[in-house]
Copies of this chain bind each other. A is one copy, B any other.
Amino acid sequence: MNKKPVNGMRDILPKEMEIRQYVLSVIRKTYQEFGFTEMETPIVESMENLQGKQGGENEKLIFKIMKRGDKFDLSRAQTENDLADSGLRYDLTMPLSRYFANHQTELQKPFKALQIGPVFRAERPQKGRFREFYQCDIDIFGDATNLAETELILAMSTVLSRLGFRHFQIRINDRRILKAMAAFSGLQEDQYDEMFIILDKMDKIGLSGVREELLEMGLTEENADRYLNLFDIIEGKTGTDAVDAMKANLDGKLTDEVAENLKQIFTMVSAASEVPVELIFDPTLVRGMGYYTGPIFEIAVPEFQSAMGGGGRYDEMVGKFVGQSTPACGFSIGFERMISILLENGFTVPGSEKRIAFLMEKGLSPEKTADVLRLAQEERKTGARVLTAVMIKNKKFQKEQLKAEGYEEIREFYERPLEG
């Protein structure tokens, strides 16, 4: 048998696990204080749902589970899909929307959901990216107002601040602004997605790279420049001023309502946040998933350069499961990225319980052992962690190991009290 984990997945050692559990407890507690309630969906979803065009590129990365029994018919199978009827979820948003559609009569409105769990993507294994990883999502169903976006951003920045992060950047955009900009550049609606995929590469290929690819996809030079000029217009402007400048230059393609909605999010987050946050209107922000319909946002801690999470509004997804759509808005923490930053920076879990080790002589009688175990129970009542173990031959090494694990106090027990 093979002692390694499967390709692209990993075992989690106790030291990292302690940090993960601590971070999860902060996330749970904070989100619960904001009125979110935890729920859970199965790790397995039907292929019908997984391939329902809600997952974008992730639908190419599904781990498919084979049909069983009579349903598994190798002789008639033409393609993979003839042999699989379910698979591992690639995110928590699609399953949550299914869950809301399935249970909406039983749920509080608005429904503020907290979901934590592993998701799976068969990506090419590479450093720091794994095929099984955790997501921590909060979502609000049934609130069409920008109170939803504001609360998601406040809750997430509170989590980051409780974990010791300082100075956040929150980049905000709106899918409808992306569309207005595309329309302004003379594109047809069926070309928008292609343009967004190009725009999404801005941080990698720069303005000139984006221009090149826009020309390749068929934009005239005039239209490409007209489009890219929009980014110049907001240069140096911040927050609501930048939104106003964008709107003024879009020839009426952007409605008052959309611009006003976004500006209100800026105003409310700035005014209500207890921690300093830098709010940036970023018209290059795309966020991959095609299901977004309104505001989209990402939180980054600048000194660590990468996004710590992001989300947006997706008012149409519940409607894919039931006749009627429900306003929905969600935020997903980049949990694995957060943990690796904490690990790289020597994060330690604050205020752990006192640790005591009781080492017992080998061959200690059952009666004496029971005495030691009772004593251990007494110490545990004070909240201490008490490890009991049989002494090994190399007691010095054993004690060193225990000290390294945080067992500062080590007591030894023998059948007879040691002499002098």
Seen from chain A, the residues whose Cβ lies within 8 Å of a Cβ on chain B are 1-6, 9-14, 17-18, 21, 28, 32-35, 37-46, 48-49, 52, 63-66, 68, 72, 74, 77, 79-80, 83-84, 86, 88, 98-99, 101-103, 106-110, 112, 118, 120, 122, 131-132, 143, 145, 147, 150-151, 154, 158, 264, 267-268, 270-272, 274, 320-322, 353, 357, 360, 362, 366-367, 369-371, 373-374, 377, 380, 383-390, 392, 398, 401-402, 405
Q: Are A1 and B321 in contact (CB under 8 A)?
A: yes
Once the chains bind, are B41 and A43 in contact (CB under 8 Å)? Answer: no
Q: Give this chain's copy count.
A: 2
Of B106, B386, B389, which contacts A13 at CB under 8 A? B106
Minimum distance in angstroms from A317 CB to a CB of chain B: 9
Contact status of A17 and B38, CB under 8 A, knowing A49-B2, A272-B374: yes
Chain B residues closer than 8 Å to A80, beta-carbon distance: 66, 72, 74
Leading 6 A-B pairs by shortest Cβ distance:
A35-B387, A271-B370, A272-B373, A9-B42, A14-B37, A12-B40
Chain B contacts for A145, CB-based, 8 A: 362, 390
Q: Are A369 and B150 in contact (CB under 8 A)?
A: yes
Chain A interface helix/strand/loop/mixed: mixed
Instruction: Tell me, rounded to whole Å, the shortest Cβ–Cβ distance linking A158 to chain B.
Output: 8
Chain B min CB distance to A22 (Å): 11
* 11 A–B contacts from the bound complex (CB under 8 Å): A2-B48, A2-B321, A10-B42, A11-B41, A17-B38, A44-B131, A65-B65, A66-B80, A108-B405, A264-B366, A272-B373
Q: Is the CB of B65 within 8 A of A99?
A: no
